[in-house]
Amino acid sequence: MDLRSHLEDLIPEQQERLKKLKKEHGNVQLGNITVDMVIGGMRGMTGLLWETSLLDPDEGIRFRGLSIPECQKVLPAAFPEGEPLPEGLLWLLLTGKVPTKDQVNALSKDLRTRASVPDHVYKAINALPETAHPMTQFTTGVMALQVQSEFQKAYEKGISKAKFWEPTYEDALNLIAQVPVVAAFVYRRIYKGGQVIPADDSLDYGANFSHMLGFDSKKMQELMRLYVTIHTDHEGGNVSAHTAHLVASALSDPYLSFAAALNGLAGPLHGLANQEVLLWIKNVVEECGENITTDQLKDYVWKTLNSGKVVPGFGHGVLRKTDPRYTCQREFALKHLPEDPLFQLVSKLYEVVPPILTELGKVKNPWPNVDAHSGVLLNHFGLTEARYYTVLFGVSRSIGICSQLIWDRALGLPLERPKSATMELLENQCKKATLTSKA
Ligand SMILES: CC(C)(COP(=O)(O)OP(=O)(O)OC[C@H]1O[C@@H](n2cnc3c(N)ncnc32)[C@H](O)[C@@H]1OP(=O)(O)O)[C@@H](O)C(=O)NCCC(=O)NCCS
């Protein structure tokens, strides 16, 4: 059975499950909302339904219940003991089930047949100056892809709500298939004189993306499979996922929703941090040399903090331990590039930064996140252009975001519309609360 048929089977039972939850337990409380939460970017406030993954502050991400090491164990790979194929993760996110190698191969093939990008997309990107940030060029490409939206066409024709998920599925898979092509075009345009490399239909999703970028070594292909797999999804509250979910709740199609998500991903506190990390590391080397001592490194970290900047790649809105996405990249580096000087610097930062951030006293999580590591791996295999890194993150995130958007429509989730408050309203509430506690 193909992926779409699997979903057709799954959807009615999940619709029933949600209906029952709402009917029988709709009034159950999930916690109290405090003034801190309202002012503090809704930290710790459970407010979204997101099926594809769940983040535990200590354990890190689980994709449909599976941790990253478990995914590395059970998801099909290109060869025995290899890194998981991102297509397998897409299957897992959508269905909650681990696919067979045959199912993954069929999905790979399906994605390849959907990967043709219309010419106007390239024209739209080419209308921008080459100096435009890669994320701006990428998002422009995604917006240009939107003209082919099946959902938009179906909605204009008056499709019934019960069928919303079907054109959403088509848009989602087309989008996932096409973003690597658009992303590779942006890379080749900016850094390789516009010499585009056509897709190789014999390759899987990750290897083909690496190939279109211009990197054909087996290790880089493996890195790309791992990279795309681990960046796909990080539950629903992060800026890019939440943005897509919000925009899609207005029944904006997957292209519109994903383009909005990319604009959030392009912020330095979110996806752009991977760019910032490598630039920061390269500045360290430029200023202090590759054989930097621990004391010099400590001084550099303090200099960054004292100039009012954050140390990129450290900290997290939810995580309170080292990000397992960091750990698996570290393991990849230990296996494939243990002698790389920048990897050794990253390892040193792992020792130096957390105690300093702890000493600051206000940082809730001093440990490294996913972005602290990805740059040095890419840099090692020749993808040295740090400004491009967030585009890679964006390609991967299409898989998580689009999977959930299909479920948003299948479950008939409503328009997202939280209540906001003014400072005056909060002050009045606080006065009332004080009076009640004194009474
Ligand atoms: C990810 C991040 C935005 C989370 O923000 P958050 O949930 O508000 O984090 P905290 O609650 O720990 O923040 C409390 C304080 O510590 C600071 N802080 C957090 N991480 C920090 C870091 N890596 N370097 C310096 N200061 C940091 C915050 O800026 C905040 O300072 P403020 O009160 O003066 O505004 C934050 O850790 C950060 O800016 N990290 C660096 C950028 C990065 O790596 N982003 C990618 C995340 S996957």
For atom 15 of ligand 1, the residue with the nearest CA is 363
Query: Is pTM beyond 0.75 here?
Result: yes
The CA-based dihedral angle spanning residues 410, 257, 395, 169, taken in that order and rounded to the nearest 10 degrees: 30
The atom number, within ligand 1, closest to the CA of 318 reads 7
What's the angle, vertex CA 397, arms to CA 310 and CA 272, rounded to 5?
Answer: 25
Q: Is the pLDDT of residue 291 over 90?
A: no
Is any ligand 1 atom within 6 A of the Cβ of residue 369? Answer: yes
User: How remote is the CA of residue 305 from the centroid of ligand 1, in Å?
Assistant: 11
| Res 15: pLDDT | 98
Is any ligand 1 atom within 6 A of the Cβ of residue 371? Answer: yes
For atom 19 of ligand 1, the residue with the nearest CA is 363
Active-site residue identified among 270, 323, 373, 408: 270
Residue 216 known to be catalytic: no
Q: Is the pLDDT of residue 439 over 90?
A: no
With pLDDT > 70 as the criterion, what percentage of the chain qualifies? 100
Name the residue with tokens 């029952």.
20
Active-site residue identified among 231, 371, 373, 380: 371
Name the residue with tokens 């493996």.
222
pLDDT tens for each residue of 171-184: 999 999 999 999 99
The atom number, within ligand 1, closest to the CA of 305 reads 25
Residue 399: burial class (beta carbons within 10 Å; 0-12, 13-18, 19+): buried
Q: Are 142 and 174 in contact (CB under 8 A)?
A: no
Name the residue with tokens 């290109």.
78
124 contact partners, CB below 8 Å, separation of at least 6? 140, 141, 143, 144
The stretch 248-253 carries a mean pLDDT of 98
Is any ligand 1 atom within 6 A of the Cβ of residue 362? Answer: yes
Q: Name the pLDDT band for 431 (thresholds 50, 70, 90).
A: very high
Q: Are 135 and 182 in contact (CB under 8 A)?
A: no
For atom 13 of ligand 1, the residue with the nearest CA is 363
For atom 17 of ligand 1, the residue with the nearest CA is 363
Query: Nearest Cα to 401, choosing from 237, 241, 267?
Result: 241
Alpha-carbon distance 371 to 375, whole Å?
Answer: 7
Average pLDDT, the chain: 97
Q: Is the pLDDT of residue 114 over 90?
A: yes
pLDDT tens for each residue of 3-30: 999 999 999 999 999 999 999 999 999 9
| Res 394: pLDDT | 98
What backbone phi and psi angles, to 5 degrees, belong to 105? -60, -40
The stretch 379-387 carries a mean pLDDT of 97
Q: Is the pLDDT of residue 1 over 90?
A: no
User: How remote is the CA of residue 357 from the centroid of ligand 1, in Å?
Assistant: 10
Residue 270 known to be catalytic: yes
Query: Nearest Cα to 180, choosing from 146, 206, 202, 209?
Result: 209
The atom number, within ligand 1, closest to the CA of 40 reads 8
Counting runs of H as helices and runs of E as strands, what totals does the chain give? 20, 2
Q: Are 254 and 168 in contact (CB under 8 A)?
A: yes
The stretch 73-101 carries a mean pLDDT of 97
The stretch 204-217 carries a mean pLDDT of 98
Q: Are 261 and 267 in contact (CB under 8 A)?
A: no
pLDDT tens for each residue of 127-157: 999 999 999 999 999 999 999 999 999 999 9
Which region among 187-191, 238-242, 430-434 has the lowest average model confidence (pLDDT)? 430-434
Query: Nearest Cα to 249, choosing from 233, 260, 235, 238?
Result: 260
The amino acid occupying position 60 is G
Is any ligand 1 atom within 6 A of the Cβ of residue 372? Answer: no
| Res 437: pLDDT | 86
pLDDT tens for each residue of 358-373: 999 999 999 999 999 9
For atom 41 of ligand 1, the residue with the nearest CA is 312
User: How remote is the CA of residue 311 from the centroid of ligand 1, in Å?
Assistant: 8
Residue 371 known to be catalytic: yes
Q: Name the pLDDT band for 438 (thresholds 50, 70, 90).
A: confident
Query: Nearest Cα to 85, choosing from 215, 203, 213?
Result: 203
Name the residue with tokens 């099926």.
51
The stretch 83-112 carries a mean pLDDT of 98
DSSP states of 135-173 = HHHHHHHHHHHGGG-HHHHHHHHT--GGGTHHHHHHHHH
SS (H, E, C) 77-134: ECCCCCCECHHHHHHHHHHCCCCCHHHHHHHHHHHHHCCCCCHHHHHHHHCCCCCCCH
pLDDT tens for each residue of 294-312: 999 999 999 999 999 999 9
Q: Name the pLDDT band for 395 (thresholds 50, 70, 90).
A: very high
Dihedral sign for Cα atoms in the order 225, 229, 232, 234 = negative
